Amino acid sequence: MVEIVSLLFLGAFSGFIAGLLGVGGGLIMVPALLYLLADSVSQTVLMHTAVGTALAAIVFTSISSVRAHHQHGAIHWHNFKKLTPTILLGAFSGALLTKAMSFDFMRIFFALFEFSVAIIMYFGISSSSHVDSLSKWVWRITGYVIGLVSAIVGIGGGTMTTPFLTYNNVDIKNAIATSAAVGMPIAVAGALGFIVAGWNVESATSGLGFIHAKALVSIVIVSVLFAPLGAKVAHRVDGKKLKKFFALFLAFLGMAVLSF
């Protein structure tokens, strides 16, 4: 019962963060699932299960979050279309690649990734170029890298898509909204990849490859209700403060995973 309540609370909080920051909620779910599932999942596949479950939950969270951002007219759909094709390829291949990775490698990779993005966001590193002037090859390569890394760490891509767009002078609120939309193809392709990767792994006892069914259902039930609330708050707060909060939040989560 305690585990269910914890998972429901995790769903509510991750859903709110997904709407607020456009990150799909994986930043919250992966570190939390490491602790919540530690007693019921073998450590050899614990990180794989946390990441796979987070990506599957993001599929549902993204629907609610994207709808809310779209109602505010904040999503740049033309940028979404440029990133999506190679994002799908990158996310699926990234999920399959994790089968060859150890628990500690994935854990440390996740933490270092969080720290790197936190530094970029906090200090406001940006480019003098504009996103509309980028070549199609930049979009294709960026999409593949975002999909690949996002699947490995179990996120909706917001921690990469948002900095990429803001680096090229897209307003933070539009970047967050577009990142929320990008999270959908990442989550779908990544979740399918983790189902395939964990299908015949004996230690993956969750029932659906590397996706933990009970955790997934518990999280999704409430996360879809709280994502619109986060999106609503995102359009009412100061953009610069939101950016600073985003950076500090990533650093905190990186520390939580590194100390596991």
Question: How high is the pLDDT of residue 22?
Answer: 58
Question: How high is the pLDDT of residue 144?
Answer: 95
Distance (Å, rounded) from C-alpha 142 to C-alpha 166? 14
**Angle, helices 2-21/26-36, rounded to nearest 10 degrees:** 160
End-to-end CA distance of the chain: 24
Q: Which residues of the chain have pLDDT under 70?
A: 1-2, 21-24, 124-133, 202-207, 239
Question: In the numeric block, which tokens belong to residue 217?
Answer: 């259902």
HSE-up of residue 59 (Cα within 13 Å, Cβ side): 17
- State pLDDT tens for residues 164-192: 887 777 887 788 888 888 888 999 999 99
b (16+ CB within 10 A) / e for 226-253: bbbbbbeebbeeeeeebbebbbebbbeb
Question: How high is the pLDDT of residue 96?
Answer: 92
Residues contacting residue 77 through CB under 8 Å, at least 6 positions apart: 181
Question: How high is the pLDDT of residue 132?
Answer: 64
Distance (Å, rounded) from C-alpha 7 to C-alpha 37? 10
Question: In the numeric block, which tokens belong to residue 109?
Answer: 């990779």
Can you list the alpha helix ranges (DSSP code H) found in the chain?
2-21, 26-36, 46-71, 77-97, 103-122, 136-153, 158-167, 172-197, 213-234, 239-258
CB 24 within 8 A of CB 42: no
Question: How high is the pLDDT of residue 171?
Answer: 82
Question: How high is the pLDDT of residue 211?
Answer: 92
